Amino acid sequence: MNENLFASFIAPTILGLPAAVLIILFPPLLIPTSKYLINNRLITTQQWLIKLTSKQMMTMHNTKGRTWSLMLVSLIIFIATTNLLGLLPHSFTPTTQLSMNLAMAIPLWTGAVIMGFRSKIKNALAHFLPQGTPTPLIPMLVIIETISLLIQPMALAVRLTANITAGHLLMHLIGSTTLAMSTINLPSTLIIFTILILLTILEIAVALIQAYVFTLLVSLYLHDNT
């Protein structure tokens, strides 16, 4: 088996042109919409989930923070649908690319921090120097707090990339093992296939949880700066 484990993470191309943009734009097309006064069950369930998620994330925010509700709901829907579509065979998952996750994390984090410095500059600067800090430790703590602030978007992106990539690699390894064992030992193949099914269910949960965690952390950063 000489197949490259990371081949599925290479950005696909069509006639030499990158197809990542088309793949990124595809998930929103799957969100159903209704033109009728009375919605069907699918639309009703979708709206209920959106309201539940939005209410849970926006409860702790003030009026200024709640202006981000549409952006945060759109973010969690986009990441969740992208992660779920990436579980399909022979598909590409954009959230396994660190560059894309950074492109989502950095602007959102920057917007939240700028909002904090514009509206609550004293509280924003107070985070760099905890109250009661001994004078000799002030320069070191300021440097540490600055680094911890600047590393937040990187942590957001790396967390999402690592979790999605690890799950895909594990599924690929177990799937390859199942295929190789199918001609050697049938009972062992059935056991490994059962593990693969359970892992797939787990990865579906991870795809949804990681979308929620990413959005929730952005919401917490926003709450700290509004």
Our count of domains for the chain comes to: 1
- Residue percentage of the chain with pLDDT more than 90: 4
Two tokens, residue 20? 């990542």
How far is Cα 170 from Cα 173, in angstroms, rounded to an integer?
5
What phi and psi values does residue 38 have, to the nearest 5 degrees?
-105, 120
* Structure tokens given for 173: 């390894």
Closest CA to 221 of 7, 71, 91, 74: 71
Tell me: the pLDDT tens digits for 3-20? 566 666 666 666 666 667
* pLDDT in the model for residue 139: 79
pTM of the model: 0.79
Show the beta-strand stretches assigned E in the chain. 13-14, 17-18
| Mean pLDDT over each residue of the chain, to the nearest integer | 81
Q: 18 or 196: whose pLDDT is higher?
A: 196
- What are the distances in angstroms from CA 111 to CA 51, 107, 108? 24, 6, 5
Amino acid at 151: I
Side chain identity at residue 52, one-letter code: L
pLDDT higher than 80, residue 22: no
CB distance 206 to 48 below 8 Å: no
Residues near 77 by beta carbon (within 8 Å), at least 6 away in sequence: 31, 50
Question: Is residue 64 within 8 Å of 119, Cβ to Cβ?
Answer: yes
Answer yes or no: is pLDDT of 132 > 80: no
Q: What are phi and psi of 183, to 5 degrees?
A: -100, 5
Rank 60-64, 136-140, 199-203 by mean pLDDT and report only the highest: 199-203
Angle between helical axes of 98-119 and 69-85 (0-180°, round to 10): 170
Q: Which two tokens stand for residue 161?
A: 């990339």
Domain that holds residue 174: 1-225
**17-21, 120-124, 175-179, 193-197: range with lowest mean pLDDT:** 17-21
At 148 the pLDDT is 83
Assign residue 211 a region (left: φ > 0; alpha: ψ between -120 and 50; beta: otherwise): alpha
What is residue 7's predicted lDDT score, i.e. its pLDDT?
Answer: 62
